[in-house]
Chains A and B, each alone.
Chain A
């Protein structure tokens, strides 16, 4: 395995930053989990710790996708990247902007009064989940993303090879960039605020990002098997077409109870119930392709790709559909059931997606033919089993919460501090398991292809 174009190596910058943030994300996630039992355990309050957790998550996934895209575009366009210096500059600009934002959150955590209102916007934290980044940072992020898109489009224009994969990938990325904008407007009405907030959050993860996932899945299937391009691209179009068919109006599943008209109850219910369908097609696609075609020698790449497809379906599709009908959502809305779904969906759909792309492309970037597979598989099982249990535990907590608080009318705090205590303890324990998996992955990322392979290992991996 080796790369065809020197500029594809830029992907590694992005992967490295993503991997470091992944570690940070899970560390602070673990602190947040402990704060359910001991709120004062850390110098920063729960809200700041969790803000760091989810911002690190979203940013490392985006940075990972950018890296992956910089790898895919030259290969599909059959040319070097339009401008390598621009890509490097864009990388460092992103790192600096993100670091500044993180320092701002920590500052606010230490002194809430520091989050001052300057020229109508809050200086350090906008106080809106996932898009907490202040307005000045929004502009930096937009500039960075525009430079990134420009570089990609100009590369494609060099040879004008609009392959299906890169056309779809860039469609998804453009859609992603555009959907960031509705989050940059202030609304006096909390209802309008949440209405547009969901444009960002829902149309990202159930629209733009799924399109990107569909395109990258097609790319990876072509890398780990010798399947024909025509076949994967056709299924890719069908998958992303179904994603848009169900996902756009599926936004309605967030418009049941926030002060929006009641017609969203049935529109959201009907269309979001269909959202698992494209995810199921992706699973079938991954299985069929890997069964029917010869598999190339990159077991971790294959492993992660297929599990991404499976857990995308389970986490987003199944754990999403169970609470998506208004009759159910009325009781489960905003409970630990939502947390359970959020974790398995993000893990399956996007964490595993970026990790798969790393395992599919990193050996080529490092120029190695074989590498030690054992750590990749170990970290996979540590992470996946721990995550499944974290999700089962929070689903349990959610069921108790729905029954006790929502159906019986017990107090929120009473349920949280007494009936659900065991679930919090278990979540923290499985969180440690997850952290172990991440640690193994991080070590593997830095060592992959950089250590001598023993003869025995090469022999077993060839077998």
Chain B
């Protein structure tokens, strides 16, 4: 191949593949909005707050960003709004060991951020993030759960609390919780956390039937 032919090939490749790329991009752009809910003013305001505090400097969203802090794509599926709001405004007020600093986010900003996260969580991401394979397998296999244990799973306590090495880190670890609190405290706290811990960020579980609350408290009280 002569130099000239090599050069022309390079130019041809540039033009050809750019043309395809632009065509595909045009098609993609025409589909993007159909794969996501409508963008309201609050969603956009929340996105602006996201940029203002450079959240991407620590977190990822859709898995893109920085790797210092958890991905937030599905955060509103995992944590209730009230809790998120408290955390955003004062991370260490919720979890004394939090690495996230208090950035000075105000109440409106926090609300908008949460609306933005709710929008993000509904975007069709081709199935990302994937469900953990082994955790899913364990749920199917572990049939012999007590009623309290299965409530603990289904109510999402595991998202916030660590128990025997599994679970979230934003709430206190529960592995030995019964050595700190008695049965009455545990049951009362479950129904109304703020009455026991002023300013608690834990959601209340008033909606539970007495039977359910008893089962769950039995389980908690067994964690010596």
Contacts and interface: CB of A to CB of B under 8 A. Distances in A.
Interface of A: 35-36, 39-40, 45-48, 50-51, 108, 112-113, 115, 117, 122, 125-129, 132, 164, 167-168, 188-195, 197, 230, 233-234, 237-238, 240-241, 244-245, 248-249, 251, 254-265, 267, 330-331, 333-336, 338-339, 405-414, 417
Contact of A261 (B28, B43, B50, B103): B28
Interface string B54-69: 1111101111111111
A47 B54 contact: yes
B124 to A, nearest CB: 6
B128 A256 contact: yes
B135 interface: yes
A221 B56 CA distance: 40
Nearest to A123: B52
Given A192-B32, A406-B130, A412-B70, 20 more contacts: A47-B55, A50-B66, A112-B53, A115-B52, A115-B53, A117-B48, A122-B52, A127-B52, A164-B7, A190-B47, A195-B29, A234-B1, A241-B13, A255-B28, A257-B63, A264-B28, A409-B135, A414-B165, A414-B168, A414-B169
Mostly, the A contact residues are helix
A47 B67 contact: no
B99 A129 contact: no
Contact of B6 (A35, A241, A331): A241
Contacts, number: 213
27 contacts: A46-B68, A47-B58, A50-B66, A117-B52, A122-B52, A125-B54, A129-B65, A164-B3, A164-B7, A188-B43, A191-B123, A192-B32, A194-B64, A197-B64, A233-B6, A248-B18, A258-B63, A260-B28, A264-B28, A334-B63, A336-B67, A408-B134, A409-B131, A411-B162, A413-B169, A414-B167, A414-B168
B125 A259 contact: yes
Contacts of B132: 405-409
Interface in B138-192: 162, 165-170
B197 interface: no
B200 interface: no
A39 to B, nearest CB: 4
A35 B58 CA distance: 11
Contacts of B33: 189
B21 interface: yes
Contact of A259 (B7, B36, B65, B129): B36
Contact of B130 (A113, A245, A267, A330): A330
B104 A113 contact: yes
Interface in B8-37: 9-10, 13-14, 17-18, 20-21, 24-25, 27-29, 31-33, 35-36
Nearest to A115: B52
A45 B101 contact: yes
A229 to B, nearest CB: 9
A266 to B, nearest CB: 12
B126 interface: yes
B56 A407 contact: no
Nearest to B105: A112
B216 interface: no
A251 B21 contact: yes
A192 B29 contact: yes
A238 B14 CA distance: 12
Contacts of A245: 13, 17
A186 B102 CA distance: 27
A411 B13 contact: no
Contacts of A126: 51
A296 B128 CA distance: 53
B118 interface: no
A333 B6 CA distance: 37
Contacts of A45: 57-58, 101
A39 B92 CA distance: 13
A237 B6 contact: yes
A233 B6 CA distance: 9
Pick the 6 closest A-B CB pairs, nearest first.
Answer: A47-B57, A409-B135, A409-B132, A127-B51, A334-B63, A257-B128
Interface of B: 1-3, 6-7, 9-10, 13-14, 17-18, 20-21, 24-25, 27-29, 31-33, 35-36, 39, 43-44, 47-48, 50-58, 60-71, 99, 101, 103-104, 116, 119-120, 123-136, 162, 165-170
B35 A261 contact: yes
Identify which of B28, B124, B129 gathers the most chain A CB atoms within 10 Å of its CB. Answer: B28
Contacts of B9: 237-238, 241
A36 B68 contact: yes
Contacts of B131: 409
A112 B146 CA distance: 48
Contact of B70 (A39, A48, A413): A413
A355 to B, nearest CB: 26
Nearest to A235: B6
B20 to A, nearest CB: 7
Contacts of B21: 248-249, 251
B17 A248 contact: yes
Contact of A230 (B3, B18, B71, B104): B3
A411 B173 CA distance: 13
Nearest to A332: B63
Contact of A409 (B17, B35, B55, B134): B134
A233 B57 CA distance: 41
Contacts of B128: 256-257, 330, 333
Contact of B71 (A36, A249, A251, A412): A412
Contacts of B126: 256-257, 262, 265
A338 B66 CA distance: 10
A244 B56 contact: no
B193 to A, nearest CB: 21
Given A112-B103, A414-B169, A127 B60 contact: no
Contacts of A256: 126, 128
Contacts of A409: 131-132, 134-136, 166
Nearest to A199: B25
A33 B53 CA distance: 21
A132 B168 contact: no
A245 B68 CA distance: 34
